[in-house]
């Protein structure tokens, strides 16, 4: 059985299987409506259900980056995030918590409030982010993404180019003083990539792996997972089956984190026996 080690705030944590990361959105406009929470109380209720369903980590975000979304200011992001984070941290003290943010000030405050990991989908767009991560020794998820996150423009891109980009950004984190053992990679499926490129990246996940490297797949219910990617998510055009397919492919090729809306289905993959490499 393959095991993984991840350094988070000075602790070397060993995992004997891929970890399920439950998505918790504190937004009114994230693309998957069932992931949204309007109040801290609702967020806590969803967080508890995800842990009960088998989530190993919670990923909390307060700003949508779906194509066409309007980016919010720092004050609004903090207003949405901090009260919910404090409530969740108090009620679920043993859960790993990551914060999905592109702002160093938000990440710093969240880490002070007990968050463990920074999930930066903007790939260090804030020059201070690397310094904040190093200050706390936080776990850090580094994502391949376009500069304009919400543009909706898609490109055909190879695993080699994704890996090159992530190596360059990792070097910035290391220069700031964050140990390599803290860093995880996310190839950014759904961020500025064509449907064909997304599926190719899922099938080439092993090209992003190396000894000691941690890689996350974040395919959950994104446009490319639907039977008709040009139509919105609906009961008849659900991305769930495509998400399960992408996750199954990726974990067989070494994925370490599965970032998902549907926690039970992800945990089900990990009980299939052949679902992840030994």
Q: What is the pLDDT of residue 39?
A: 87
- List the CATH code of the domain at 4-269: 3.20.20.20
Average pLDDT taken over every residue of the chain: 89
The reported pLDDT for the residue numbered 148 is: 60
In this structure, what DSSP letter does residue 149 have?
T
Domain chopping of the chain, boundaries: 4-269
Give CA–CA dist 252/275, Å, rounded: 6
Token code pair at residue 8: 């988070």
Tell whether the model's pLDDT for residue 277 goes beyond 50. Answer: no
Beta bridge partners of 141: 119, 184
More confident: 191 or 138: 138
Coil, helix or strand at residue 202: helix
pLDDT tens for 204-237 read: 999 998 767 899 999 999 999 999 998 988 889 9
Using CA atoms, how far residue 230 sits from 29, 105, 233, 238, 277, in Å, is 18, 36, 10, 12, 34
Three-state secondary-structure class, residue 217: strand
DSSP H/E element including 13: strand 11-15
DSSP H stretches of helix in 57-158: 74-91, 104-112, 129-136
Nearest CA-CA partner of 225 in 217, 216, 215, 237: 237
Q: What is the mean pLDDT of residues 29-57?
A: 81
Helix (H) or strand (E) holding 140: strand 139-143
Picking from 16-30, 46-60, 191-205, which range would have the lowest pLDDT averaged per residue?
Answer: 16-30
What is the CA 59 to chain-centroid distance, rounded?
7
| For helices 240-252 and 195-203, angle between their N-to-C axes, nearest 10 degrees | 40
Please choose, from the candidates 209, 273, 259, 261, the residue with its C-alpha nearest in 3D space to the C-alpha of residue 20: 259
Which residues is 157 bridged to in the sheet? Answer: none
Cβ burial, residue 200 (10 Å; 0-12/13-18/19+): middle
**Contacts of 27 by beta carbon, 8 Å cutoff, 6+ apart:** 36, 61, 62, 63, 64, 80
pLDDT at 145: 84
pLDDT score at 276: 45
pLDDT in tens, 259-276: 999 999 999 998 775 444
The span from the CA of 56 to the CA of 97, in Å, is 9
C-alpha span between 12 and 137 (Å, rounded): 11
């Amino acid at each position: 059985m393959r095991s993984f080690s991840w350094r988070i705030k000075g602790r070397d944590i060993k995992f004997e299987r891929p970890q399920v990361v439950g998505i918790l959105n504190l937004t009114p406009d994230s693309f998957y409506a069932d992931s949204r929470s309007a109040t801290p109380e609702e967020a806590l209720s969803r967080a508890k259900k995800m842990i009960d369903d088998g989530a190993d980590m919670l990923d909390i975000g307060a700003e949508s980056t779906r194509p066409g979304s309007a980016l919010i200011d720092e004050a609004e992001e903090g207003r949405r995030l901090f009260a919910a984070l404090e409530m969740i941290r108090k009620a679920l003290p043993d859960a790993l918590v990551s914060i999905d943010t592109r702002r160093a000030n938000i990440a710093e405050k969240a880490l002070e409030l007990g968050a463990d990991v920074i999930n930066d989908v903007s790939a260090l767009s804030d020059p201070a982010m690397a310094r904040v991560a190093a200050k706390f020794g936080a776990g850090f998820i580094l994502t391949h993404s376009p500069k304009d996150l919400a543009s909706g423009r898609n490109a055909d891109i190879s695993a080699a180019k994704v890996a090159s980009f992530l190596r360059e950004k990792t070097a910035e984190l290391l220069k700031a003083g964050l140990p390599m053992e803290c860093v995880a990679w996310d190839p950014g499926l759904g961020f500025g990539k064509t449907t064909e490129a997304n599926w190719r990246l899922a099938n080439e996940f092993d090209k992003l792996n190396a000894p000691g490297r941690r890689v996350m797949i974040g395919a959950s219910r994104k446009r490319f997972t639907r039977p008709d990617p040009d139509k919105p998510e609906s009961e008849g055009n659900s991305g769930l089956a495509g998400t399960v397919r992408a996750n199954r492919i990726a974990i067989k090729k070494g994925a370490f984190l599965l970032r998902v809306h549907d926690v039970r289905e992800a945990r089900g993959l990990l009980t299939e026996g052949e679902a992840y490499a030994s």
